[in-house]
Structure 1
Amino acid sequence: MKVLESTFKPSFDRGFYEQLLSKLKVKNFSVSEEYVLPISNELAEGHIKVIPSGKYKWYTEINLKCFSNVKLPFLTKETDLIHFIYCCKGQGIHQMNGKETVIDEFQTAIIIDKESADLILKKGETVKIAIISVEKPKEMITSVVSEIFRIFEEKLENKKFAYYGSSNLKISDQIGKISSTEKNGVVKKLFVEGVIQLILAMEIQHHHKDISSISDVNGLLTLKEQKIIKDIAEEIQNNCDYPFSIKYLIEKTGLSAAKLQEGFKLLYSRTVTDYIKNVRIEKAENLLKTTDLNISEIVYAIGFTSRSYFSKIFKERYNCSPRYYQEKSRIYSLAFTA
């Protein structure tokens, strides 16, 4: 087993990453708001991204195509750490006390280990794994981080804890926002920190639901059916001008109308029709801000057939007409660039 000699710890100095990269035979890398470690050699190809989030939290995203079995050690002897893990693509294998447990696609896990624990990536796997690591504050003052450690206080005393949760596709959507955001500067930093906080909250909530055996609509849908819902939702996002109908979605997915509605309510807290309408309105809002298209052209571009209907639901959402919103956006844009 080949090992990437990396340590996930609260150290963001350039020297730490230069040392890691030298072991991975990577010569050039740059530091910005986030730390991206490009990897391309006989072990793997891809990158590891690290984003600090406040004083005691950081986000690690592993995007790798593995050419060999690779072991990533979690060395947490120096401090108390809780790792909240989510597998977005492929699978990882968590090794603790010699026992290997698979973390499948869309599955959550929470790991505490002050002695030794490894994340193993298998040869031939293309993986995307997100990890939010939380460090215990030296003084347990009133804070969100302190509250997290109080939740897992008993587990920390035992020095070892591993929870492998059920699947949760909602978390995948939030992680995708970190990679896809087009925001820059302080706006991006605030946005990403907010998404990381939300992901952390969703992981803890999911853990509570799992251990308390609360039955919900998730039990009515298989993981395969949830993946189908997620795929069709992405198709709607990417082609919002298409005249989607329930009949079309039933034929496309092979799911019943009831399953479609259950799936969209589970993953997006909306009915199918409301989800499509929301995607179109958000697309229109972006076009009003970023393009010179007139209102009629935007209505056509997002798949609506009635300008009056579009104006009505846009006003319900943004409390102003599309034209007014467009004019104000242009004024603010000119003022900002002046």
Structure 2
Amino acid sequence: MKELLIKGSNPKSIFSQIQSCIDADMREDWGETVLTFNNAIGKGTLRTISFNWGISLIDFDILLNDDTTLIFDNDELSPIEFIFITQGYFNYSENNSGSYTTLEQFQNTIISPKRSSKKTFLFPKSVHLKVNFIRINRKEYLKKKNNNVCYLNDLLVKLFNDKIGDTAYQHGGNFSLRIADEIKLLNSIQDSGMLRSLSIEGRLCLILSLQLLEHKNFEEKMNLPEAISKNDIAKIHKLTTYILNHISEDISITILSTESGLSPKKLQLGFKILFSKTVNEYIRQLKLEISRDYLKNTDLSVSEIVYSIGIKSRSYFSKIFYEAYDILPTDYRKHLRNKKSSLI
């Protein structure tokens, strides 16, 4: 087992120490620090970016060849960490005691160890891990105007106002595909410069708000119904990829039920809970989002686009597109072209 000992909690310092331990390449662009490695240790990418008021992001996309522990030996007040895994799993121990809690895929997790404790992450070998850490330096965040921390539930109010670090906290909450989808959007941002940093910051705040909302619902006993298990959630997540890959086909609930092994009733319940939509509403929204991208980024005719997203009637497509975006598809494309030509 490989062991990495990290001093302090500053993201850039953490990355500098990791770089020296795993022989990674480091680059900095637009305020982001990125480590990449592909060697005997494994392969992957690590990214961090910090914003005002003590909010920072660290994310890992890694595959390791050996079990690896990351031990934080820190005398400072640790940040509150909102953790979400979109692929794989890893283990967590507050005091490097050898007793671990498994942090699972799609589960909303919040940790805040005691001051001077040795927070330890154990990353298993041969597991492709994608994980996001949204970290809040509570002292800095409390200086933020209109932080509204006082409106959180009592547990989090106490945690945010703990300036000494004498209380440990760990929340292993509900499983959420909605948060997973928002993280996908975060990771797909392609802009550069100011547009990129603003997009990341905005998406980060949205994800954090969803994680806080999950915590509120969990504490108020508004959990996922017992009929929706962790395995059911994983199946629905795979189903969203199936829908995307077969968007040009006639996708019925019967087909999705057969593909996932879930009953039609459980499918509808799962989509309603996780996406606040019925299965058909989810598919229709996805078709519209894809069609909008085609109109913007390709020269396909409207008829070709309608065919490619599996809608049989062009008039019906125009109707639902207008209902969703308050503009007809042809007018939307004209608007984009006129806007582009005005910039030339």
The normalised TM-score by structure 1 is 0.89
Matches within 5 A, 1:3-22: 3-6=3-6, 9-12=9-12, 17-22=15-20
Q: Deviations along 1:19-72, whole A, 9 cap, x unmatched?
A: 53122223x332113221112333332121112233411111112212112111
Counterpart-to-counterpart distance in 2, 1:151 and 1:327? 54
Matches within 5 A, 1:37-116: 37-97=35-95, 98=97, 99-113=99-113, 114-115=115-116, 116=118
CA 1:155–1:165 in 2, change beyond 3 Å: closer, same or farther? farther
| Residue 182 in structure 1 maps to residue 190 in structure 2 | yes
Q: Deviations along 1:306-335, whole A, 9 cap, x unmatched?
A: 011111111111112111110010111233
Aligned to 1:124: 126
**Which deviates more, 317-326 or 137-146?**
137-146
Instruction: Please report how far the alpha carbon of residue 170 of structure 1 lies from its aligned counterpart in structure 2 after TM superposition.
Output: 2.1
Q: Alignment identity in percent?
A: 27
The DSSP-based 3-state class of the residue aligned with 1:31 is: strand
Counterpart-to-counterpart distance in 1, 2:332 and 2:161? 53
Counterpart-to-counterpart distance in 1, 2:160 and 2:258? 50
Aligned equivalent of 2:21, options 8, 23, 28: 23
Counterpart-to-counterpart distance in 2, 1:151 and 1:194? 26
Q: Deviations along 1:232-277, whole A, 9 cap, x unmatched?
A: 1122223321111122112222222111111111121111111111
> Are the aligned partners of 2:88 and 2:130 in contact in 1 as well (CA < 8 Å)?
yes
Counterpart-to-counterpart distance in 1, 2:66 and 2:131? 17
CA 1:153–1:18 in 2, change beyond 3 Å: closer, same or farther? closer
Counterpart-to-counterpart distance in 1, 2:253 and 2:140? 55
Matches within 5 A, 1:186-335: 186-216=194-224, 218-335=225-342
Counterpart-to-counterpart distance in 1, 2:15 and 2:229? 41
Instruction: Please report how far the alpha carbon of residue 75 of structure 1 lies from its aligned counterpart in structure 2 after TM superposition.
Output: 4.4
> Are the aligned partners of 1:58 and 1:132 in contact in 2 as well (CA < 8 Å)?
yes
CA 1:58–1:78 in 2, change beyond 3 Å: closer, same or farther? same
The DSSP-based 3-state class of the residue aligned with 1:182 is: coil
> Are the aligned partners of 1:10 and 1:58 in contact in 2 as well (CA < 8 Å)?
no
The DSSP-based 3-state class of the residue aligned with 1:29 is: strand
Instruction: Please report how far the alpha carbon of residue 185 of structure 1 lies from its aligned counterpart in structure 2 after TM superposition.
Output: 3.4
- Size of the alignment, in residue pairs? 333
The normalised TM-score by structure 2 is 0.88
Counterpart-to-counterpart distance in 2, 1:196 and 1:140? 18
Instruction: Please report how far the alpha carbon of residue 109 of structure 1 lies from its aligned counterpart in structure 2 after TM superposition.
Output: 1.9
- Calculate the aligned-residue CA RMSD, in Å: 2.4
| Residue 136 in structure 1 maps to residue 104 in structure 2 | no
CA 1:6–1:62 in 2, change beyond 3 Å: closer, same or farther? farther
Q: Deviations along 1:138-173, whole A, 9 cap, x unmatched?
A: 583434385577352476653422222232232222
